């Protein structure tokens, strides 16, 4: 419970625990290692080579950066993502360990190779730079978008705490040993973090990369040259690149002043290292504190104003350096400036840049981002080196150099101010092409800028409907009452989408009676959605409750149930007795009527938590209308009515997909109180019931119980599934080929159900995103992808026993244990009679009873198994699974039509379709000339009445029993329509039947014409 409390305090969730416990130590240890390396090589370079040569080293680094980018791009193009991450970490670790070895050897033997320190500086800068990118890239790749929002602050906090620890360690180590050991300690810590780093890649990144590697999808690439040309034509992009260039260049200048003033103040290596360690510690304490407010700052200021504020800090820092550079306060003032610029550049400016690139097309966004960063990195280092050279090469005074820095900071401030304006313009111009989620993310930028809002409002006057819709989305988020007059002008727009969007965007909480009357006009609109939106808006006008009540009361009798439901919600929001009474009467009436209207009312009851109507909603759970049953089950789940659980569990085996999914979701919504009932249903429960209960329990139980109780349940079911693979072979051994095929079909379906439950358990014990990726990859047609996924299961994903047993089942496929004798076959089938699946019990029972009683065609009543066996022989249903055939059999009514009686009557409504089991049906119709003729004769396995049953039209033919009684399976069109929606294969089969009828009619017409 303590861990859960800590997670909640950090904004994380219990499902994030495993990832946090594995990755946070990597960030913490690598944070220490990074700053120890930085402290070590900066101290050694500054003291033994000289900070006055820093401009030359930076210039050399600027020319090396393109080669570095090419190397990383070359590696990325040739290595899978997981291997690339391992290779890069190994490369960084190798560089640090080699440098540490060289330093320690030089120190041990008293060697002095001054030319080595620039090499150390450049190589170590590469390590520090790429180590940061590597860790952030890993974290982003492993976390879904929402999880990243929760966990990234924790990872950043871990790294910054590592920096604090590094500052303390650097001071202690430098006192005892010196900067060489400080640097080497960073390498040792990188080595210590390696096992966890590799484990993270194996458990999370490998599964997620399996599909990505095979998909071959590549983003549209944009060259650096193309980005540069675009920047020259785009003031916005040019300003962004200039900001990304100038900001680090000025930081390098401040760093140069800091290193030189520190060197003058602390001439000895140990004193310099101790002070640098103290600065590092303070720096990362500030970085950690910054993380606690950076999110709120970004939310308050936005990306563009954040950069303007950072530029202001640059101006203040260089102004301080200018005024105090020659005095005793130079060291603290410049040190504070250096720390502030470091923090703001790497922890605040970088995220702001990323938001700027979101205005670019999605397909090219990353290409522009990386190309711009490459241009800015090289140019920034060159300019920074040039600024440093003004002092080291040309002898410019510190005062003059600080003045140059202040002038650069002022230019930076102007650029950031211009960039803000360009950014707003880009947002407005690109808002018609960005997705809704991106719009939501960038809305805050609009709300803080009056010029941008004014431009958005001007879009309401444009002739383009798409521009109006985007503007209405933004204005609707503002909910500014002053926009109501402009929006009222749009409610007469000819486009219904514009009218609805305009009403939705209004804030009528303080509107006048004129606005209410205008909106009330929508209440008689022929469009149902428009009337519903009008009801919602009038319900918000609580300052005119009496008038609103008058309008809403009328809508309780609206012809469409969605409008009635909105009226009920609006009236309940008034919280007065007359509203409650009026609504209660309507709710009671609709619940008593049932049907489609009750679907909307059930949702309202759940949303408003109206427990007074629970008893009637419970009755709807047995309603004949399928959609009403689903809505009632969903409502009872949200209201946490535990008494419905036993009934739902009982009916689960016969539920279709939608109802099954809704029941499972309801179990989860009922919370911990549902656990005992769900646990009680697990022993000997049918496959679908077991899967639903296990999926719900996986979401409700703590990880410890999932790992023990549910894992054992899943292992038991997988074992039973393996035993059941012998049913089909046993039936085949006994000569029941038809039943053998049915048993095999059922085994495939049961395997799907059991696998769903097993994967639900593994998703709880592993990362859900990883488990989903592995599940899809494990069933992939590509053998390499499949084998990679199986390798992850072999390593033990989530829970080793269950993962490896699942792998065994997947590898075995449909292959069952051979059945050599009839005695063995009979023994296996007798065991099936005691099993938990009713289909296997029926199939085994049919095989074991006497042949004469097995499936007598003279029986008046067909069993479900008889119906399924027959339907499977009908060409239109041959491709359906046993589960789908069973659903049809459940709704199919056996009907006998006497000889000469009409099954269909031309011109009469027909509510059902018919599948002929035995006998013949003659189809007749009347020609345009008025004479009646036979179209054709249908026999066993043929279907009639499909079209009229599904679209509720009158029959175009007369269908009459011919030459004896006819036995048919009758399926109501309403039930068939629902099954078609849930199982498209059924619709395809019926479509074939319709095509066959069309061909038959065409042939008959040709005969008549001839």
pLDDT band at 437 (very low <50, low <70, confident <90, very high): very low
pLDDT band at 435 (very low <50, low <70, confident <90, very high): very low
**Runs of H (alpha helix) within 674-710:** 675-681, 687-700, 703-705
For the ranges 265-274, 421-430, 802-811, which has the lowest average pLDDT? 421-430
Cα(94)–Cα(876) distance, integer angstroms? 66
Q: Give 898-917 pLDDT, tens digit per residue.
A: 888 888 888 787 778 788 88
Q: How far is CA 566 from each of CA 512, 604, 609, rounded to the nearest angstrom?
A: 22, 8, 15
Q: Considering only residues 456 and 433, tell me which one the structure prediction assigns the higher pLDDT.
A: 456
924: left (phi over 0), alpha (psi -120 to 50) or beta: beta
Q: What angle do CA 560, 561, 566 make, to 5 degrees?
A: 105
Residues sharing a CB contact under 8 Å with residue 264, sequence separation 6 or more, in sequence order: none
Q: Give 185-239 pLDDT, tens digit per residue.
A: 999 999 999 988 888 887 777 666 665 544 444 444 555 566 667 666 778 778 8
Q: Can you read off the two tokens belonging to residue 157? A: 């906090």
Instruction: Please say whether the dihedral angle defined by the alpha carbons of residues 193, 196, 199 and 201, taken in this order, is positive or negative.
Output: negative
Q: Give 334-391 pLDDT, tens digit per residue.
A: 888 888 887 777 767 765 665 566 566 645 555 566 667 777 778 888 898 888 888 8
Contact of 218 with 367, CB cutoff 8 Å: no
Strand partners, 920: 962
Cα(924)–Cα(927) distance, integer angstroms? 10
Q: Is the pLDDT of residue 960 over 90?
A: no
Residue 214's pLDDT is 45
Helix (H, G, I), strand (E, B) or coil at 937: strand
Helix (H, G, I), strand (E, B) or coil at 896: strand
Within 13 Å, how many C-alpha atoms sit on residue 368's CB side?
22
Mean pLDDT to the nearest integer, 444-461 = 68
Q: Which residue, among 315, 504, 473, has the nearest Cα to 408 in the 3D structure? A: 315
Which phi and psi (to 5°) does residue 961 adopt?
Answer: -65, 135
CA–chain centroid gap for 148, Å, is 11
Instruction: For helices 737-765 and 726-733, give the axis angle rounded to 10 degrees.
Output: 170
**Beta-strand runs (E) in 455-544:** none
Q: Which residue, among 1004, 890, 889, has the nearest Cα to 938 in the 3D structure? A: 1004
> Best-predicted range by mean pLDDT among 523-527, 548-552, 717-721?
717-721
Q: What angle do CA 630, 633, 638 make, to 5 degrees?
A: 125
Q: Give 80-116 pLDDT, tens digit per residue.
A: 778 888 888 999 999 999 999 999 999 888 887 888 9
CA–chain centroid gap for 709, Å, is 29
Instruction: Please say whether the dihedral angle defined by the alpha carbons of residues 838, 843, 849 and 850, taken in this order, is positive or negative.
Output: positive
Q: Compute and round to an integer the Cα radius of gyration of the chain.
A: 37
Do β-strands 932-938 and 893-897 pair in parallel, antiparallel, or remain unpaired? unpaired
Q: How far apart are the first and last CA of the chain?
A: 86
Cα(853)–Cα(856) distance, integer angstroms? 6
Q: Is the pLDDT of residue 9 over 70?
A: no
Q: What is the DSSP letter of 143?
A: S
Q: Is the pLDDT of residue 165 over 80?
A: yes
Residues sharing a CB contact under 8 Å with residue 818, sequence separation 6 or more, in sequence order: 729
Q: How far is CA 991 from each of CA 418, 550, 995, rounded to the nearest angstrom?
A: 62, 50, 6
Contact of 237 with 406, CB cutoff 8 Å: no
Cα(542)–Cα(818) distance, integer angstroms? 75
Residues sharing a CB contact under 8 Å with residue 175, sequence separation 6 or more, in sequence order: 270, 274
Cα(513)–Cα(499) distance, integer angstroms? 20
Query: What b-and-e string marks burial along 804-843, b requiring 16 or more CB atoms within 10 Å of the CB?
Result: ebbbebbeeeeebeebeeeebbbebbebbeebbbebbebb
Residues sharing a CB contact under 8 Å with residue 592, sequence separation 6 or more, in sequence order: 616
Q: Can you read off the two tokens belonging to residue 500? A: 């609805």
Mean pLDDT to the nearest integer, 959-967 = 84
Cα(390)–Cα(666) distance, integer angstroms? 71
Q: Which residue, among 646, 731, 749, 629, has the nearest Cα to 688 in the 3D structure? A: 749
For the ranges 91-95, 373-377, 480-484, 705-709, which has the lowest average pLDDT? 373-377
Q: Is the pLDDT of residue 118 over 50?
A: yes
Q: Is the pLDDT of residue 693 over 90?
A: yes
Q: Give 268-278 pLDDT, tens digit per residue.
A: 777 877 787 78
Q: Is the pLDDT of residue 798 over 50?
A: yes
Q: What angle do CA 453, 458, 461 make, to 5 degrees?
A: 150
Which phi and psi (to 5°) does residue 936 adopt?
Answer: 175, 175
Cα(544)–Cα(558) distance, integer angstroms? 22
HEC profile of 316-368 = HHHHHHHHHCCCCCHHHHHHHHHHHHHHHHHHHHHHHHHHHHHHCCHHHHHHH
Cα(1007)–Cα(992) distance, integer angstroms? 23
Residue 295's pLDDT is 56
Q: Can you read off the two tokens belonging to residue 102? A: 């060289």
Q: Can you read off the two tokens belonging to residue 668? A: 């989860």
Q: Which residue, among 38, 251, 50, has the nearest Cα to 163 in the 3D structure? A: 38
Residues sharing a CB contact under 8 Å with residue 275, sequence separation 6 or more, in sequence order: 262, 265, 266
Q: How far is CA 865 from each of CA 482, 848, 875, 885, rounded to the nearest angstrom?
A: 68, 14, 18, 10
Q: Is the pLDDT of residue 438 over 70?
A: no
Q: Is the pLDDT of residue 852 over 50?
A: no
Contact of 196 with 86, CB cutoff 8 Å: no
Cα(568)–Cα(613) distance, integer angstroms? 14
For the ranges 286-300, 312-326, 894-908, which has the lowest average pLDDT? 286-300
Question: What is the dihedral angle through the alpha carbons of 455, 460, 465, 471, rounded to the nearest 10 degrees?
Answer: 50
């Amino acid at each position: 419970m303590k861990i859960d409390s800590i997670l909640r305090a950090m904004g994380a969730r219990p499902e994030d625990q495993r990832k946090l416990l594995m990755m946070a130590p990597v960030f913490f240890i690598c944070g220490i290692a990074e700053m120890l390396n930085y402290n070590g090589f900066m101290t050694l370079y500054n003291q033994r080579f000289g900070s006055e040569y820093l401009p030359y080293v930076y210039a050399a680094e600027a020319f090396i950066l393109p080669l570095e980018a090419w190397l990383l791009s070359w590696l990325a193009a040739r290595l899978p993502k997981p291997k690339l991450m391992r290779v890069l970490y190994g490369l960084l670790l190798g560089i640090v360990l080699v440098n540490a070895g060289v330093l320690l050897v030089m120190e041990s033997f008293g060697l002095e190779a001054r030319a080595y320190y620039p090499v150390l500086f450049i190589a170590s800068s590469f390590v520090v730079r790429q180590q940061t990118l590597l860790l952030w890239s890993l974290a982003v790749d492993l976390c879904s978008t929402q999880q990243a929002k929760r966990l990234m602050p924790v990872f950043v906090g871990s790294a910054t705490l590592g920096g604090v620890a590094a500052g303390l360690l650097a001071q202690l180590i430098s006192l005892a040993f010196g900067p060489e050991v400080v640097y080497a300690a960073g390498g040792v810590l990188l080595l210590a973090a390696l096992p966890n780093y590799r484990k993270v890649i194996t458990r999370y990144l490998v599964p997620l990369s399996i599909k990505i590697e095979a998909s071959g999808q590549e983003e549209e690439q944009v060259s650096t040259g193309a980005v540069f040309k675009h920047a020259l034509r785009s003031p916005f992009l040019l300003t962004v690149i200039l900001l990304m260039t100038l900001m680090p260049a000025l930081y390098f200048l401040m760093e140069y002043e800091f290193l030189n003033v520190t060197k003058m103040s602390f001439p000895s290596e140990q004193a310099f290292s101790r002070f640098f360690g103290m600065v590092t510690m303070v720096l990362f304490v500030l970085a950690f504190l910054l993380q606690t407010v950076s999110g709120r700052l970004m939310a308050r200021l936005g990306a563009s104003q954040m950069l303007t504020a950072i530029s202001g800090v640059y101006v203040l820092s260089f102004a301080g350096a200018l005024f105090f550079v020659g005095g005793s306060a130079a060291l603290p003032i410049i040190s504070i400036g250096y720390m502030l610029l470091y923090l703001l550049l790497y922890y605040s400016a970088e995220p702001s840049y990323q938001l700027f690139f979101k205005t670019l097309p999605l397909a090219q966004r990353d290409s522009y981002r990386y190309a711009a960063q490459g241009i800015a990195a090289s140019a920034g280092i060159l300019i920074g080196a040039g600024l440093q050279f003004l002092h080291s090469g040309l002898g410019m005074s510190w005062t003059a150099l600080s003045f140059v820095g202040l002038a650069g900071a002022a230019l930076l401030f102007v650029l950031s101010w211009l960039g803000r304006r360009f950014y707003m313009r880009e947002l407005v111009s690109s808002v018609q092409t960005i997705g809704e989620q991106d719009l939501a993310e960038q809305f805050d930028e609009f709300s803080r800028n009056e010029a941008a809002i004014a431009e958005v409002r001007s879009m309401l006057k444009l002739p383009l409907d798409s521009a109006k819709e985007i503007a209405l989305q933004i204005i609707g988020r503002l909910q500014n009452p002053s926009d109501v007059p402009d929006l009222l002008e749009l409610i007469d727009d000819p486009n219904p989408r514009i009218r609805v969007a305009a009403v939705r965007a209004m804030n009528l909480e303080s509107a006048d009676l004129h606005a209410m009357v205008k909106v009330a006009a929508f209440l008689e609109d022929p469009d149902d959605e428009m009337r519903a939106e009008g009801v919602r808006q009038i319900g918000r006008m609580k300052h005119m409750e009496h008038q609103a009540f008058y309008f809403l009361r009328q809508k309780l009798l609206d012809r469409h149930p969605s409008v009635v439901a909105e009226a009920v919600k609006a009236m309940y929001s008034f919280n007065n007795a007359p509203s409650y009474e009026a609504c209660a009467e309507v709710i009671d009436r609709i619940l008593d009527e049932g049907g489609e209207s009750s679907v909307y009312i059930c949702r309202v009851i759940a949303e408003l938590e109206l427990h007074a109507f629970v008893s009637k909603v419970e009755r709807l759970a047995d309603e004949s209308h399928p959609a009403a049953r689903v809505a009632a089950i969903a409502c009872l789940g949200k209201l946490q009515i535990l008494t419905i659980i036993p009934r739902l569990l009982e009916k689960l085996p016969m539920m279709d997909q939608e109802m099954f999914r809704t029941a499972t979701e309801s179990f989860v919504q009922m919370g911990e109180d549902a656990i005992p009932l769900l646990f009680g249903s697990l022993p000997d429960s049918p496959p679908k019931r077991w899967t639903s209960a296990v999926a719900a329990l996986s979401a409700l139980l703590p990880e410890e119980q999932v790992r023990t109780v549910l894992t054992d349940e899943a292992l038991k079911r997988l074992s039973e599934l393996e035993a059941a693979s012998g049913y089909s072979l046993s039936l085949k051994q006994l000569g029941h080929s038809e039943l053998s095929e049915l048993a095999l079909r059922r085994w495939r379906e049961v395997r799907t159900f059991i696998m769903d439950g097993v994967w639900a358990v593994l998703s709880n014990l592993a990362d859900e995103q990883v488990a989903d990726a592995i599940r899809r990859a494990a069933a992939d047609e590509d053998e390499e992808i499949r084998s990679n996924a199986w390798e992850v299961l072999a390593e033990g994903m989530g829970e080793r026993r269950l993962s490896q047993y699942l792998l065994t089942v997947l590898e075995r496929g449909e292959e069952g244990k051979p059945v050599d004798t009839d005695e063995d076959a009979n023994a296996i089938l007798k065991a099936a009679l005691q099993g938990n699946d009713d289909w296997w019990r029926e199939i085994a029972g049919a095989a074991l009873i006497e042949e004469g009683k097995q499936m007598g065609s003279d029986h008046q009543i067909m069993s479900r198994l008889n119906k399924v066996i027959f339907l499977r022989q009908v060409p239109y249903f041959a491709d359906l699974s046993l589960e789908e055939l069973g659903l049809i059999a459940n709704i199919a009514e056996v009907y006998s039509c006497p000889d000469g009686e009409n099954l269909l009557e031309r011109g009469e409504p027909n509510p059902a379709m018919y599948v002929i089991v035995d006998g013949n049906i003659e189809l007749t119709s009347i020609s345009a000339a008025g004479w009646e003729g036979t179209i054709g004769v249908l026999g066993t396995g043929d279907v009639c009445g499909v079209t009229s049953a599904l679209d509720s039209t009158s029959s175009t033919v007369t269908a009459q029993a011919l030459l004896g009684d006819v036995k048919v399976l009758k399926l109501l069109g309403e039930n068939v329509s629902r099954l078609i929606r849930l199982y498209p294969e059924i619709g395809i089969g019926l479509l074939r039947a319709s095509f066959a009828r069309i061909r038959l009619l065409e042939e008959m017409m040709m005969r008549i014409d001839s």
